[in-house]
Amino acid sequence: MNAVARILGEAKKVRPPTPLQRKNPHLAYYYARDVIKGRFPEAEEAIAKSPGWAYLYAKSVINGRWPEAEEAIAKSPRYAYEYATNVIKGRFPEAEEAIAKDPDSAKHYLMLFPEAKLDWALKGWIPMGDIWGV
């Protein structure tokens, strides 16, 4: 087999997305992950508006931070926590106020990032005694 035939044979033929897959964050995410196996630029605006799908897209499709979606992700305590731990792999200060409002997310976040406790206490999100485990 010559090189041109091999390269052409390796090219993936992908069905085009439907209009719904361009606008629905759920369908757009699965189209990107399972069909094109990569970024889906024409649907990113729709995906970025949904905290859960934006988090999954950053984690599974982009495999890294997605600044354009961080504002939406930061509004959801659960997905902000997941984004911080699984995508950023560090603190997500823009989302900490939302995370602090959900007891489970806040507890796990502060266990992973104890350096945030002082900031949280100074902002009144946790009692000052929680800094030292009192």
pLDDT of amino acid 3: 55
DSSP assignment string, 59-94: IIII-S--GGGHHHHTT-HHHHHHHIIIIISS--GG
74 is written with which tokens?
A: 């930061």
Taking alpha carbons only, the member of 105, 100, 23, 29 closest to residue 66 is 29
Same domain, 90 and 131: yes
pLDDT of residue 10: 53
pLDDT given for residue 133 in this prediction: 63
Question: Are residues 98 and 133 both part of a single domain?
Answer: yes
> The tokens of 99 are what?
């995370």
Please indicate, yes or no, whether residues 27 and 60 belong to a single structural domain of this protein. yes
Domain of residue 132, residue span: 74-134
Closest Cα partner for 43 from 11, 68, 75, 71?
Answer: 68
Q: Which of 7, 29, 64 is the last residue of a domain?
A: 64
Asked whether residue 83 falls in the same domain as residue 132, the answer is yes
pTM: 0.86
What is the C-alpha separation between 102 and 68, in angstroms, rounded? 24
**Which parts of the chain sit beneath pLDDT 70?**
1-12, 133-134
